[in-house]
Amino acid sequence: MKLEKGRIGLKGTVLIMIGYIYGSTAILSPGVGVGQDAWVAQTIGLGLALIVVWVNTLLLARFPGQTFIEINERVFGPYAGKFISLLFLWYIFHLGSIVLIDHLDFVRLMIIPLTPAEVVVFLGILPCIYAAYKGLEVIVRTGQVLVVFTLLYFGLITLFQVQSYDFANFKPFLVTPFPKLAWAGLTAASFPYLETVVFLMILPFLNQQNKVRVAVYLGLFFGGLVVIWSIMRLILVLGDTAVNYVYPSYYAVRIINIAELLNRFEILAAMNYIMIGFLKVTVLLYAAGLGWAQLCKCQDYRPLLLPLGALMALVSLNNFEHVVGNFEFTTQVYSIYALPFSAGLPFLVLVGAWVRGLPGKVKNK
């Protein structure tokens, strides 16, 4: 029984991984707390993540063509396997709701402040449900276009900001005490890089299963480059004041003003954030829907998307009391909360598979 009949290409997968990683970092700019060393922290985070995702690639290589939920069930049997799958599904569901509220908070603050949150969330989740309903191939094809647009936007903004670059902002180099820097690095590894754990639900549908490792590493590496460069740009433009703003990267776009002619680009930034947020939420929603369907042995995952999406919207509205709570959670709690799911679960399953000697001889059933 195959729930997803689509097959995706290497290029598309790498591109949506880049978009997925850049996703909420575009808005939230993690790590600005360590000032001019934020990009170092991001680099450490990327390095850590590159090591940790090795586990994911090993797991996928052991069980080609099987999603994380199916692997769980093979390794731990129906009960323990389902329990682990539930934990995983909770994580991607919750992550989806957090990403949703991050982006919709932004839209509400900057574009339509008086519109009730419920309406904005409703309008935001509907296209995600629709895209997930259309299946993986459609998500990847849409995602490719959106990510290419994002990268174009990225290059354009980089170019336009050149006049406000101040390279002295990088100095002094590495004065942050090491524990603080390491903590920031760990935070960065967890958000955004290790969030790619959701691709354990998507990479099994890669048309060349021997290229899974290539896809993971290329996606993570280039996604990481994009994030690190966006953080560096932020330091170059805003310097120490990045911490003063709720959405520093958006603010950095607002101050673009070239000869009174090229200015007010922030609507471009806002459009880009919405596009990339849509992609991230769609991937998470799709993975959650597929996961639940495989968990419950449903014939089809699509009927689950509407209720899951509705629940995601509701949870996202009730996640946090206020936007400050959201930022507090993202910067202080989230990395610790997410690590057991995003790094722990794959590791656990890999160890389980290794101990039990799976998949053993029954590989080509």
Partner 1 sequence: MNRNRLILIFGYFLLNLVFGTGCWDSRELDELAIISGIGVDKEGDKFNLSFQIINPTGLKGGEGGGNQGSGGGGTETFVVAQSTGRTIFDAVENVRNQIERIPFFSHNEVIVLGRQLAEEGIYPGVDFFLRSPQPRPTQWVLIGSEKAGDILRPKAEMEDTSARALKLLVDFGRQSWVPAINLEEVNAAMTQKRGAYLIPIVRVQGDKGKLFLDGSAAVMKRDKMVGEVNPGESRGLKWMKGEIRNAVVVSELPNQQGLVSTRIFLNRGSIKVNLTPEGIPRVNVYVYVEGEIEDMSGKFNLTSTPGMDLVKKQVALAIKKEIQSAFQKARSLNADFINIGRILYQNHPQVWEDMEHKWDEIFPEIRAHVTVGVSIWRVGEVSKPAISE
Site residues (vs partner 1, CB under 8 A): 109-116, 119-120, 122-123, 126-127, 130, 168, 171-172, 175, 238-241, 244, 251, 254-255, 257, 263
What distance lies between CA 40 and its chain's CA centroid?
20
Of 130 and 347, nearer to partner 1 (C-beta) is 130
Integer Cα distance of 229 and 232 in angstroms: 5
| CA angle, residues 203, 331, 125, in degrees to nearest 5 | 50
Token digits for 48? 């850590």
Least separation in angstroms between residue 74's CB and partner 1 is: 37
Least separation in angstroms between residue 256's CB and partner 1 is: 8
Of 77 and 172, nearer to partner 1 (C-beta) is 172
Of 100 and 350, nearer to partner 1 (C-beta) is 100
Token digits for 231? 């953080």
Beta carbons of 277 and 102 less than 8 angstroms apart: yes
Is residue 1 classed exposed, middle or buried when 0-12, 13-18 and 19+ CB atoms within 10 A define those classes?
A: exposed
**Token pair 């323990």 in the structure block, residue:** 80
Least separation in angstroms between residue 154's CB and partner 1 is: 21
**CA distance readout (Å), 260 to 26, 157, 208, 255, 265:** 26, 16, 50, 11, 12
Of 115 and 332, nearer to partner 1 (C-beta) is 115
Least separation in angstroms between residue 317's CB and partner 1 is: 16
Least separation in angstroms between residue 117's CB and partner 1 is: 11
Which residues does residue 263 pair with via DSSP β-bridges, in sequence order? 257
Integer Cα distance of 106 and 86 in angstroms: 30
Least separation in angstroms between residue 11's CB and partner 1 is: 27
Q: Crossing angle for the helix pair 10-28 and 266-295, nearest 10 degrees?
A: 120
Of 127 and 303, nearer to partner 1 (C-beta) is 127
Of 300 and 360, nearer to partner 1 (C-beta) is 300
